[in-house]
Amino acid sequence: MSVNQPTTRAEQMRPDPAGTVCFGQNRFTAEEYQAVQNALRQKLGPEYISSRQAGGGQKVCYIEGHRVISLANEMFGYNGWSHSITQQNVDFVDLSNGKFYVGVCAFVKVQLKDGSYHEDVGYGVSEGLKSKALSLEKARKEAVTDGLKRALKCFGNSLGNCILDKDYLRAVNKLPKQVPVELDLAQTKRQDFDASVERARYSSFQQAQKQAERPQPEPAVQLPLRSSDPSLSEQNHEGSNRISPEDNCTSTGSAMSYAPDMDATYQRKLRQKQLQQQFREQMERKQQTREPETLPDTSREGTAYPARVPPLGHSTPAAAAQPQVAPEEEFLADRSPYQQHQGLLMKKRRLEPS
């Protein structure tokens, strides 16, 4: 069974919190894709193919596990592919004459860095071992290796798919194998420390440290403080209007460097204008609602009349009331008809004898 589509598992497709791209989300470039595709089309030489005798005296060709892993690393890179065991089942464990016979199947999934993957099943058998643990170990490892080789061969001929072609096998068996290259001591690892790897790792660490220390510009958008005093808002608005012509006269370079500050200032001015407009509209609505309900001003009545109202039980003679007629009429002339009517009533009450 084989599948060639991006993985849908949420844990693999979820972005990393630090902003890095997770495995399965790195896309191949066009040049890399073309190079890998051309390499996968090539068929393997006789140096990569091994053979063994199967049941019935039949000869079977196969690729060893370490060779197919080396080929995958060369094709996709050491960090360009991964494999996982999705399922493993022990089919049987039999004991016969003190020896164990074990069969295990394993489903292995091989995924590339761009998310495409293939999955296939492998089978492992262990026969004739006296130890049950060793029998299970051998069968499990054989099943996983077989599943890995079967999943990798689905990517192309270079990873083992060409072995299934019988005509190709007959032709390749006639070719002479190359003489194995002698061991080069310069290419062997003789000590744990590797100077080139250490320098490359330290250089990448320095670059990451510099990038982390670099200040990241953050947009600072501040909302204006809401003030209940409209005069303060007017002053701020006028002050901002006075500053804006100066900002317009600055050079192009300074305008580019202070672009975030100017943007924040513009947002603050716009917010102040909106608040001022809302405040004016609210005040106008309040004044319009209060005008129809206003009553005549009676403040003068409370201040002017009490001094002229005679005390109870006191009769004011006509002669004493004569000098007050002229000022009262002048006072009533400046008042509204309603107030004048009230004034005349009070005047009549004062003139009538008690």
**Structure confidence by residue, pLDDT tens digits, 170-189:** 898 888 888 777 888 888 88
pLDDT in tens, 252-299: 444 444 444 557 788 888 888 999 899 889 888 888 887 655 555 544
Q: Residue 207: is its pLDDT beyond 70?
A: yes
Q: Which pLDDT score, from 0 to 100, does residue 351 have?
A: 66
Report yes or no on 1 lying in a domain: no
Hey, which bits of the chain come out as E strands? 50-53, 59-62, 81-96, 99-112, 117-129
Same domain, 68 and 173: yes
The H-or-E segment that residue 255 falls in is: helix 252-257
pLDDT at residue 217 in the model: 65
Top-confidence residue, 276 or 302:
276
In this prediction, residue 13 has a pLDDT band, given cuts at 50, 70 and 90, of very low
Confidence class for position 199, pLDDT limits 50, 70, 90: confident
> Any idea which residue has 């589509």 for tokens?
5
Instruction: Classify residue 5 by its DSSP letter.
Output: S
Confidence of residue 107 (pLDDT cuts 50, 70, 90): very high
DSSP state of 315: P
Q: Are residues 234 and 287 in the same domain?
A: yes
In a shared domain, residues 30 and 123 = yes
Both 248 and 351 in one domain: the answer is: no
Please tell me what DSSP assigns to residue 204. H
- 138-141 CB contacts, 8 Å cutoff, 24+ apart: 138/102, 139/90, 139/102, 139/103, 139/104, 140/88, 140/104, 140/106
Under a CB-based contact definition with an 8 Å cutoff, are residues 92 and 102 in contact?
A: yes
Asked if residue 146 has pLDDT above 80, the reply is: yes
**Same-domain check for residues 167 and 274:** no
Q: What is the reported pLDDT for 100?
A: 97
For the segment 22-41, the average pLDDT, to the nearest whole number, is 89
Higher per-residue pLDDT: 19 or 6: 19
Based on the domain organization, do 141 and 270 belong to the same domain?
Answer: no
pLDDT of 193 reads 78
Do both 124 and 238 map to the same domain?
A: no
Task: Give the mean model confidence (pLDDT) for residues 46-53.
Answer: 89
Band of the pLDDT at 25, cuts 50, 70, 90?
Answer: confident
Distance from the first to the final alpha carbon of the chain: 124
| Run of H or E including 231 | helix 230-248
The band of 93, judged by pLDDT with boundaries at 50, 70 and 90, is very high
In a domain, 20, yes or no: yes
**Would residue 136 count as lying in a domain?**
yes
Same domain, 287 and 328: no
Do 168 and 41 share a structural domain? Answer: yes
In a domain, 317, yes or no: no
Whether 199 is in a domain gets the answer no
pTM of the model: 0.53
pLDDT attached to residue 191: 80
Higher pLDDT, 329 or 157: 157
Give pLDDT, residue 250: 44
Q: State the CATH number of the domain containing residue 151.
A: 3.30.390.80
Provide the token pair at 325. Answer: 């007629």
How many independent structural domains does the chain possess? 3
pLDDT for 180 equals 79
Nearest partner of 258 among 271, 246, 241, 242, judged by Cα: 246
Give me the pLDDT at residue 304, please: 45
pLDDT at residue 264, as a whole number: 77
Distance CA 288, CA 299 (A): 23
Say yes or no: 18 and 70 in one domain.
yes
Asked, for residue 297, whether it belongs to a domain, the answer is: no
**Domain annotation covers residue 314:** no
pLDDT single digits (tens) 304-337: 444 454 554 444 444 444 444 445 555 545 556 6
For residues 26 and 130, membership in a common domain is answered with yes
> ∠225-229-234 over CA atoms, to 5°?
80
Compute the distance between CA of residue 2 and CA of residue 109 in angstroms, rounded to an integer.
Answer: 9
pLDDT-derived band at 3, boundaries 50, 70, 90: very low
Residues 158 and 75 sit within 8 Å (Cβ to Cβ): yes
Say what the pLDDT of residue 353 is: 60
Radius of gyration of the chain from its Cα atoms, rounded to whole angstroms: 50
Q: Are residues 170 and 271 in the same domain?
A: no
Q: What is the mean pLDDT of the chain?
A: 76
* 3-state DSSP helix/strand/coil % of the chain, to nearest 5: 55, 15, 30
| Nearest-10 crossing angle of helices 259-290, 230-248 | 150
Alpha helices in 111-225 (DSSP H): 132-152, 166-172, 195-213
DSSP 22: P
Residue 349 domain boundaries: 322-354
| Confidence check: pLDDT of 47 > 50 | yes
Last residue of a domain, one of 182, 205, 222: 182
Is 220 a member of any domain? no
Determine the pLDDT at residue 149. 95
Between 121 and 310, where is the model more confident? Answer: 121
